[in-house]
Structure 1
Amino acid sequence: MKGRRWRRWQHRRLALLLVLYTLLLLLLVPYVQDYGARRGRGAEEAPLQPRCPSLQEALGEWGWEEEKEEEQSPEGEGAAAGGSEAGGGGGGKRHIYLHATWRTGSSFLGELFNQHPDVFYLYEPMWHLWQALYPADALSLQGALRDMLRSLFRCDFSVLRLYAAPPAPRDPLAPPAPGGGGAANLTTAALFGWRTNKVICSAPLCPAAPWARHEIGLIDGAACERSCPPRGLRELEAECRKYPVVVIKDVRLLELGALLPLLREPGLNLRVIQLFRDPRAVHNSRLKAKQALLRESIQVLRSRHRAEPRGLPRRQLLPAAGLGGGGGGMRAQQQHRAEFFLSGALEVICQAWLRDLLFSRRAPAWLRRRYTQLRYEDLVREPRAQLRRLLRFAGLPVPPAMESFVLNMTRGAAYSSDRPFLISARDAREAIHAWRERLSQEQVRQVEAACGEAMSLLSYPPSAEPGGGAREGDSR
């Protein structure tokens, strides 16, 4: 009897061991196969960046691995090569997106395209979307921003009615206010930056304008507001369709990868100019406008916890101690809190830059023809050469008056920071190095720690010694 029980127990034990062994094999074989595949891929190409181990998986979110080398269509090649034809090669429009972030000199870059007689220019139209959806985080808004860009590039401005409409009355049954004011009655006066837009502030939309569209020079915003009554969006759409090139400048698209669907879309001939600037100069400029940038910095900072699992290395960038001044009052605390939000947002922006830089280095040839990078420092050091390069990339001629304009705008009498959002002639070369005198040693170290990888890829050397800094050489 005992022998029979012992044999039964042995059979059960053997069966259990066989089950465990089978489960182990089922788990181990796929792991070994996946490991071998990863090693095979690693032998073929070097890793992109040792500090971004999961970047490859993160790029897959945008369908990057599905991209293959494609033949550029005859229309696209013609548009890229055609310099001065109004229709651009195959007869279609060209669409240019100026991809930048706050305080990088993007307003100046956009103004160069605003001046060109063949360009229909829009200044930060996505501002309306961010204001309407506040406090949504930056990453969650990328899809909505992309969809808005698609409509605007097609000269369909009805999308603005979703975000730029005035708030509804508290009583939903209340009659409309006298004179309208509803979403259907939006005008050019609802567009952000309309007072200096060359199309809105000149004929035919503004017959009484004291300047012509083809004249090169800054628009007096107050004079435009006096002379140019608001016009309906339908009229603006009709004017947009007349121009061979549509340019949109904005600072709210956090990642280049979000534009891939538009870059692949056959109906759009989209090209992207990405603007960079020394993060230390960006931080210095943002601190001078901290209150104006506070809301949007919070939106960027709120996306940090969503970005971390996607391969972005985290760096801690905190405000330097004692920045609030000698007093410990409420105002000092508010200033310290505002700088904390701006510093954290810069950390997220620098990691997004790193992601874009690595992203673009993996780009196939067809995409590299549609994308170019620009450093603000290069633009202000050699303005005419960079202007010619940018306009050639956009398929536009280079009017001699524009070369004089860009030179005069970067060779002003002095660098003034009293009105940081005002576009004016200034000594931009002095602005390149202003951060060295205005940032503390601790602030400089913190920015370099948070943005070091991106700075290295952009050829911004770290400070040579405490309180100083090495002069940046030419990047490429």
Structure 2
Amino acid sequence: MRVRFSVKGAILVGCLTIILVDLLLIASLSNVQHPSERSTNDNSSRLISKKSPRTPIEIRPIIVLSTFRTGSTLAGEIIQQAEDTFYLYEPLNPLNYVLYQLQNATLHLVNGSVRSVGPYDFPNVSIDILKALINCDFSSLDIETASHGFLFYSRRSIPYISCVNLNKRKTTLFQAVNKCLHIWKESCESSKFRIIKVVRLSLDWMERLLQTFPNLMVVHLVRDPRAIQISRSKLGENIFEDIRKSFTELCTLLSWNIYFETRLNGTYGRIFRLYYEKLALRPLETSMWLYKRLALRYTPKVRAHVHRLTRAGLPDECPTCAGRANSSAHVHSWRGLFNQSQLNDIEEVCGTYLKELGYS
């Protein structure tokens, strides 16, 4: 009997033990996390332990608007030397090139979506691009804009575009842009002054940006149209084939911009005119005035850079570069290049503009 009792007792204890172990195992399994859940929670813990994001800065967008060969490269190069600036050199050029070549095109965006555009969509798409750039929303840009070689003219974009060029050798351009995009975005978001040089839009389109960005300033850069045309001719444009036609087209656009400068200033008051001639003849004085108008800090480093660009005897072999041996020598370089008959035609089609801006 004792032996029989012991066996039964042992069996009973064993069964109870198995049941208890099963219960404990079930309880422990219910607390085990899936690896992805554990990773998410770990990341959350790390995010909580990190410092809270910095307070958003009050951005001050600046558009330098002009026409082709007005001296905007010099003006942009001077402005981008200021502290706390993020400068972009003609970001609308890729879109202009695509539509010029194809008329109708499909833009492939960095975020993976596509956008169909036609020749008449250029102004609207351009405004969307400018808004995205000011907001550092680079994922909504098309791949061409986000990877264009002009980004090397923007010193704070160089690390990003260098990263893209390095990575696209071993992967697709789309993948390279997305891999490096955070570099560009961080550089933009950390800058108070976001400056964009624009030569492909007329001034009336600035109203949409003035409405969207209450701190936006527009620098309207102007130049004598005779000097503009001579500068264009050096790049291969045949302005002498039909003087009246070429100057009529140019001065119509210039007059249009002046009209909207006055009109929009009546509502917004944030557009001011910069004469290229003043910047070229008195670069130190004018650049200091420009910095003051834009609330930028004019430092000895900026002053030295302006001097290097305009007075330091840099070679003049590059017609599209900002630097000049002596910028003042280019102001009246057009004189003597037109005969009297041509000057009479120019006066006839551009006389109102020349007189209003003091060029006559």
Secondary structure of the residue aligned to 1:107 is helix
**Residue 245 of structure 1: aligned partner:** 193
**Residue 105 of structure 1: aligned partner:** 71
**Residue 210 of structure 1: aligned partner:** none
Which aligned pairs between 1:243-282 and structure 2 lie closer than 5 A?
243-254=191-202, 256-265=203-212, 267=213, 269-282=215-228
Offset at residue 193 of structure 1 (A): 2.0
Q: Judging changes above 3 Å, is the alpha-carbon distance between structure 1 residues 420 and 439 closer, same or farther for their aligned structure 2 residues? A: farther
Give aligned-pair identity as a percent: 27
**Residue 429 of structure 1: aligned partner:** 328
Q: Judging changes above 3 Å, is the alpha-carbon distance between structure 1 residues 264 and 196 closer, same or farther for their aligned structure 2 residues? A: closer
CA distance in 1, matches of 2:60, 2:71: 23
AA in 2 matched with 1:400: P
Matched, 1:123 2:89: yes
CA distance in 2, matches of 1:371, 1:434: 29
Offset at residue 234 of structure 1 (A): 3.1
**Residue 351 of structure 1: aligned partner:** 252
**Residue 196 of structure 1: aligned partner:** 153
Offset at residue 116 of structure 1 (A): 1.9
CA distance in 2, matches of 1:364, 1:399: 30
CA distance in 2, matches of 1:378, 1:138: 36
Where does structure 1 lack aligned partners over 5 or more consecutive residues? 1-86, 165-185, 208-228, 295-318, 321-335, 462-476
Q: What do the CA deviations read for 1:158-187 (whole angstroms, capped 9, x no partner)?
A: 3432644xxxxxxxxxxxxxxxxxxxxx6x
Find the structure with the greater CA-based Rg.
2
AA in 1 matched with 2:251: C
Matched, 1:400 2:300: yes
Which aligned pairs between 1:11-30 and structure 2 lie closer than 5 A?
none
Q: Judging changes above 3 Å, is the alpha-carbon distance between structure 1 residues 280 and 157 closer, same or farther for their aligned structure 2 residues? A: same
CA distance in 1, matches of 2:119, 2:247: 13
CA distance in 1, matches of 2:251, 2:257: 10
Tell me the TM-score normalised to structure 1 length.
Answer: 0.53
**Residue 6 of structure 2: aligned partner:** none
CA distance in 1, matches of 2:266, 2:286: 22
Offset at residue 138 of structure 1 (A): 8.2
Offset at residue 377 of structure 1 (A): 0.3
Q: What do the CA deviations read for 1:112-131 (whole angstroms, capped 9, x no partner)?
A: 12222311000001001101
Secondary structure of the residue aligned to 1:249 is strand
2:151·2:161 contact (CA, 8 Å) conserved in 1? no
Offset at residue 268 of structure 1 (A): 5.0
Matched, 1:286 2:232: yes
**Residue 137 of structure 2: aligned partner:** 156
Offset at residue 399 of structure 1 (A): 0.9
CA distance in 1, matches of 2:292, 2:131: 23
CA distance in 1, matches of 2:275, 2:69: 13
Greater fraction helix: 2
Where does structure 2 lack aligned partners over 5 or more consecutive residues? 1-54, 104-117, 164-175
CA distance in 2, matches of 1:344, 1:242: 46
Tell me the TM-score normalised to structure 2 length.
Answer: 0.69
Q: Judging changes above 3 Å, is the alpha-carbon distance between structure 1 residues 289 and 126 closer, same or farther for their aligned structure 2 residues? A: same
2:83·2:297 contact (CA, 8 Å) conserved in 1? no
1:138·1:252 contact (CA, 8 Å) conserved in 2? no
Q: What do the CA deviations read for 1:312-332 (whole angstroms, capped 9, x no partner)?
A: xxxxxxx55xxxxxxxxxxxx
AA in 2 matched with 1:407: H
AA in 2 matched with 1:428: S
CA distance in 2, matches of 1:112, 1:153: 19
**Residue 367 of structure 1: aligned partner:** 268
CA distance in 2, matches of 1:364, 1:109: 21
